Chain A
Amino acid sequence: MSGRALRRRLKSGTLTAVVAGLAVLAVLPLLLIFADLIHRGASSIDWNFFVKSPVPMGENGGGVANAIVGTGIIVALACLAGIPIGVGAGLFLAEFGNGRLGWIVRFVADVMNGTPSIVVGIFAWTWLVRPAGHFSALAGGAALAMLMIPMLARTTEEMVRLVPNSLREAALALGYPRWRTSLAVVVRTAMGGIVTGGLVAVARVAGETAPLLFTALGNLNFTTAVSGPMQTLSLQIYVYATGPYEEWHRLAWAAALVLMGMVLVLSLAARWATRSRYAAG
């Protein structure tokens, strides 16, 4: 082998190693964060942590039951508003989205995906909190829905477009009208993928804090009233992390571990939903 060829192969090998090293370095923070969450959070998690609400400042103990339930309620509200609009818009993009309107909606969805969530928060405050005169879980749910809609629209479109045209043609040939073909055949085939998109979107908004600061606000008491302020895990972590007490920091880590656990379960479920779809197809 000539020197030049050897040099080229050496260069190729070295740079491959550099790229692999960079990849390892990029994944490293995730492992560090997981290790710290478990190391600092796990010891504080017991039964009381899940079933008790926070105790007054200065006392020890208490839990985040209010925040866990609040997160569930606000995310459910977001799904209620966000899923029909997001999935509907995605269906439009896949079924009728080849014209100018389709291009605009697709572009807007992608651009909205990058809109800072804090801006959505102040918008929701202006439209829903200020006129009502008080903070509310409803406004928080609406803000999160606004974040879900563009994500859902795009993933739904992608998934529906994966459905082979032959299926559609078979249904049309059997005399199904277009709308029934779309709902009963196309959407049904793509359901696994749409569910995956939904789970990913839920995982993403469940951890959001910024849009909730001026909408759901936070609440140290246990409540299920959606017309008033409500706590979420993310808001509670923020308050505890910025507070001066050791006890609060301990609870912040524990709450972060619970929140991360929820996000992890949702992400794994999303993976699993896609996998079973491929296995079935």
Chain B
Amino acid sequence: MARRRTRNLGDPAYRWVLTGLAILLPLLLLAVGTQLAVSAAPALKKFGFRFLFTTTWDPVAEVYGAAPMIFGTIVSSLLALLIAVPLALGVAIFLTEFAPRWLRQPVGFLVELLAAVPSVVYGLWGVFVLIPLLRTVAVPPLRAVLGWTPFFKGVFYGNSMLAGGVILAIMIVPYIAAVSREVLQAVPATQREAALGLGATRWEAVWSAVLPYGRSGIIGAVMLGFGRALGETMAVTLVIGNRHDIGASLLAPAYTMAAALANEFTEATTQMYLSALFAVGLVLFVVTITVNALARLLVWRVAKGAAVGSKAL
């Protein structure tokens, strides 16, 4: 009898310890959200919704409007998606559908490695290699062809929305590729076999049978990349120019919410300044959480709750 009792004590104890550790995760997330909201409250109370839509950011006059950063965050991330999505889907489709078996492992590893390069190293490379490259190779032809549009007007100093978008694109390719690859792998083989059996070419099988099956997962993968881009800090801070400005030209300097936090947080001298920065953090947090939550639900629909892309993420 005594033996059975000790045995029964071990199991519940084990379960409760693990449950306690697991519950820490939602508690942490809750703590982060609550703390940001509390610290941001003074600024949000004072400026209300104007905080999101006005463009003046003046620590001396204590007037804060985050519109330029929100604009810069969204535009740089969208620009990154525009460049990264075709590349990442190319990698994913190539690796799951067309690559010879011996090539899959090494290319997959290279892509994972791309995800492991520290953000600040991307930034360093962006400042000293990418920006000169853009200046000499990319911007002149872009201006020649598209110079008449508002997007490529003005002087190109180097640090710009364009540089930010390109570096972000390079950084999010591995995330989108890793997740879409696993989504495509989760598509049942019968899906391909049926299409091929009906006489489809290999591309037609991919296009008409595999991709539609994984559609929601791929959209989720793209949204995960978008979430990454929104919150990416160091690389963007180093190349985007850090200017509170809204403009159509991609060649002009811009700002993002994460970059503002990195640059100004330790310099915030007044309570209101600090609170305004917390408000920026809160907006960033809420936006990325929402994007990520939606993305996960979409990916889970295909991959059944798996930790998809966990090696890269």
Contacts and interface: CB of A to CB of B under 8 A. Distances in A.
Interface of A: 8-9, 11-12, 15-16, 18-23, 25-27, 29-30, 32-33, 36-37, 40, 84-85, 88-89, 91-93, 95-97, 101-123, 125-127, 146, 149-151, 153-155, 157-158, 177-180, 182-183, 197, 200, 203-204, 206-210, 213-214, 234, 237-238, 241-242, 249, 252-253, 256, 259-260, 263-264, 267, 271
A210 B99 CA distance: 37
A256 B234 CA distance: 14
Contacts of B295: 114
Contacts of B116: 200, 203-204, 207, 263-264, 267
B221 interface: no
Given A101-B23, A116-B285, 7 more contacts: A11-B203, A20-B98, A23-B90, A32-B129, A114-B289, A123-B35, A208-B119
Contacts of A106: 305
B313 A267 contact: no
Contacts of A26: 87-88, 90-91, 111, 114, 173, 177
A88 B228 contact: no
A210 B234 contact: yes
A96 B15 contact: yes
Contacts, number: 285
B288 A267 contact: no
Contacts of B156: none
B159 to A, nearest CB: 11
Contacts of B7: 177
A20 B94 contact: yes
A29 to B, nearest CB: 5
Contacts of A182: 14
A151 B313 contact: yes
Contacts of B18: 88-89, 91-92, 95-96
B194 interface: no
Contacts of B170: 29
Nearest to A41: B124
5 contacts: A96-B19, A113-B292, A209-B118, A249-B128, A264-B116
B292 A114 contact: yes
Contacts of A85: 21, 24
B94 A112 contact: no
A87 to B, nearest CB: 8
Contacts of A177: 7, 10-11
Contact of B123 (A18, A149, A154, A238): A238
Contacts of A252: 124
Nearest 10 CB-CB pairs, A to B? A22-B90, A207-B118, A116-B231, A88-B21, A179-B14, A12-B201, A12-B203, A114-B292, A154-B307, A92-B22
Given A12-B204, A111-B289, A146 B120 contact: no
Secondary structure at the B interface, as helix, strand, loop or mixed, is helix
Contacts of B201: 8-9, 11-12
Contact of B284 (A101, A119, A179, A180): A119
Interface string B294-313: 01100000000111001101
B266 interface: yes
Contacts of B89: 22
A115 B231 contact: yes
Contacts of B266: 213-214
A104 B22 CA distance: 10
B32 interface: yes
Which of B26, B89, B121 has its CB near the most chain A CB atoms (within 10 A)? B121
A25 B91 CA distance: 9
Contacts of A21: 90
Contact of A108 (B26, B110, B284, B313): B26
B11 A179 contact: yes
A204 B39 CA distance: 29
B15 A263 contact: no
B18 to A, nearest CB: 4
B77 to A, nearest CB: 12
Interface string B232-243: 111000100000
Interface in B83-142: 86-91, 93-95, 97-99, 107, 109-114, 116-125, 127-129
Given A19-B98, A29-B114, A122-B265, A112 B124 contact: no
A207 B123 CA distance: 12
B227 interface: yes
Contact of A264 (B13, B87, B113, B265): B113
A234 B122 CA distance: 11
A113 B178 CA distance: 15
B300 to A, nearest CB: 8
Given A27-B107, A108-B26, A84 B231 contact: no
Contacts of A93: 22
A23 B91 contact: yes
Interface in B1-43: 7, 10-11, 13-15, 17-19, 21-26, 28-29, 31-32, 35-36, 39
B201 to A, nearest CB: 4
A174 B79 CA distance: 59
A279 to B, nearest CB: 15
